[in-house]
Amino acid sequence: MSTTTLPPAPAGSAGTAPSKPAVADEGRIGLRANMRHIGALARRNLLQIKKDPESMFDVLLMPIIFTLLFVYVFGGSVGGSLGGNRQDYLNYLVPGLMAMMGMNIAMAVGTGVNDDFRKGVMDRFRTMPIARSSVLIAKIVVELGRMMVAIAILLAMGFALGMALGTSVLGLLAAVALSAVFGAAIMWIFIVLGLAMKTAQAVQGMGMLVLMPLQFGSSIFAPPKTMPGWLQTFTDYNPLSNLADAVRGLMMGGPVANSVWVTLAWAAGITLVMAPLAVSKFRKKA
């Protein structure tokens, strides 16, 4: 009697557990495909805003409220310390608020990522053959768009109140671009917070603990020369001070080279550290 040797049964056949569908390695995804994925995910995020227009209230109202509040409450006294009046303070404040916009809007990236994980959306994305970084970059792209809307409203408010541009339109555009670059870097920090914290409320609470000292311990709202010595030291090393001074110089005139390069160095350093960390935590988050 002859015997027949059967080949080994393939994986997934009867009697064995079916294997999970393989997910394409993101390292094999080309640049063009990555860009297409980012565009599709950014469109998804924009559609979310369209369905929930109330999510734009912070972008639309924050620049108006902050400008009116600080100009008419503190403008007289702080303007006097600058050697001028409320109008001089307006010219000082608006570039500083431009530097602040990215910080405040960045918090929405962290809470959005956290909320998407809570709803299970991110789990779905992680099973798809797309680069993990494209999910996070799409978030940043949309939030940068929201930031540009906020800056446009801020500038419109400033010019309506009588702000005078001391340089040129080119300088103004350079100030907007610098604010966007630094804002994108800060968003990576809040993405990491969104991935590390359990709830969106926790992300907001931690974000405020980070934002408040950085914003008020800087040259955004008042010149550091009026602050105590220990706070001036903190202000000198605060990246928001460098950003505010750079934006102010680009818009109103004055030396900008050192502040611009320091701001770009901060942005590059933050991105190089936090972006890989954010992608790694995105892959591993349970």
Q: Is residue 26 included in any domain, yes or no?
A: no
Q: Is residue 16 included in any domain, yes or no?
A: no
> Digits of tens for pLDDT over the chain (286 positions)?
444 444 444 444 444 444 444 344 444 666 777 788 888 888 888 888 888 888 788 888 999 999 999 998 888 777 777 767 888 899 999 999 998 888 888 888 888 888 877 777 776 776 777 777 888 888 899 999 999 999 999 999 999 999 989 889 999 999 999 999 999 999 999 999 988 888 888 888 888 888 888 888 898 988 888 888 888 899 988 999 999 999 999 999 888 889 999 999 999 999 999 999 998 888 877 5
Say what the pTM is. Answer: 0.82
Token representation of residue 218 = 């800087």
What is the C-alpha separation between 274 and 286, in angstroms, rounded?
A: 19
Q: Is residue 52 included in any domain, yes or no?
A: yes
Q: Is residue 280 included in any domain, yes or no?
A: yes
Q: Is residue 2 included in any domain, yes or no?
A: no
Total number of domains in the chain: 1
Q: Is residue 19 included in any domain, yes or no?
A: no
Token representation of residue 129 = 């053959």
Token representation of residue 187 = 């968003």
Q: Residue 132: which of 24, 247, 15 has the closest Cα?
A: 24
Can you give the residue range of the structural domain that contains 241? 31-284
Which helix (H) or strand (E) segment is 26 a member of?
none
Q: Is residue 131 included in any domain, yes or no?
A: yes
Which helix (H) or strand (E) segment is 65 a member of?
helix 57-81
Q: Is residue 270 included in any domain, yes or no?
A: yes
